[in-house]
Amino acid sequence: MEFPYNIQNENIDSWETVMFIYGAALKNVRAKVEILADELKYVHKMNPIEHVESRLKEAESIVKKLKRHGYESTIENMVKYVKDIAGVRIVCSFTSDIYKLADMISGQADVTILEICDYIQTPKPSGYMSYHMIVSVPVYLSDQVVDTCVEIQIRTVAMDFWASLEHKIQYKFEGNAPEFISRDLRACAKIVANLDTRMLALNTAVQETGGRT
C-alpha cells in the first residue's frame, strides 16, 4: 500500500486515517463481489454465492500479529506487514465455484493480485482449507488515489463450517488444543473434503441430466 500520509506518527488521527482507508477498500471489494453475485443470479441464472462477510481487523489482533512476526507495533509496520487488515469472505456452494469466482475477481481491471494461497489443493497442517487472495484495490480520495490491500477468502459452506468450529476450539484453548482434539479436527477436515467432492459430483450429475441448480 503506497501511503501518502505521515504514518510514522502514531497519533489517533493517523490511526483513524489508516483505518478509514482500509474501510473504504473493504467497501470497494465487497461491492464488487455483490455486483458479481447479482449478475450471476439475475443475468446468468446461477447462484454460486451462499453469503458474503467482511470485517476490519481489531487493533489488538493487529498488534498480536506484528509481535508474533517480530515487528514493533507501529502504524508503518501495520501497513507494510499485515496484509489482512481488511478481509472479505465469500462462501460458495461448490469447490468449482471457488476458482470461477477467483478468476472473475482477478480479471477486473482495477484489481491487482499480490498473493495467492490455495489451501484447498494444499491444506494447512491443521486441516484448514480455503482459497486466499491478497489483492490491491484503489481508494479514490478527494485529492489522490491510495492502493490498498484486502484479503479475500473463498470457501465452501462445508469448509466454512469446519473453520468456524476450529476457530472456536482453538480460541478456547488459546491455540494449544490437546493432540486428540487436533487429530479429530484433521479427521473432520478430510470428511469435509470428501463431502465437497461428492456434492460437486452430484451437482455435475444433476446438470448433465438437465436439472436446475
CA 188/CA 190 separation, integer angstroms: 5
Rounded to 10 deg, the angle between the 95-106 and 179-208 helix axes is 80
How far, rounded to the nearest angstrom, does the alpha carbon of residue 89 sit from its chain's CA centroid?
4
Question: Which residues, in sequence order, are bridge partners of residue 91?
Answer: 51, 155
**168: Cα within 13 Å, side-chain hemisphere:** 5
CA 129/CA 118 separation, integer angstroms: 8
What CA–CA distances, in Å, run from 2 to 5, 30, 58? 9, 21, 22
What cell does 5 get? 500520509
Of 58, 151, 174, 208, which one is the catalytic site residue?
A: 151
What cell does 55 get? 470485517
Annotation marks residue 151 as catalytic? yes
CA 78/CA 76 separation, integer angstroms: 5
Active site residues: 151
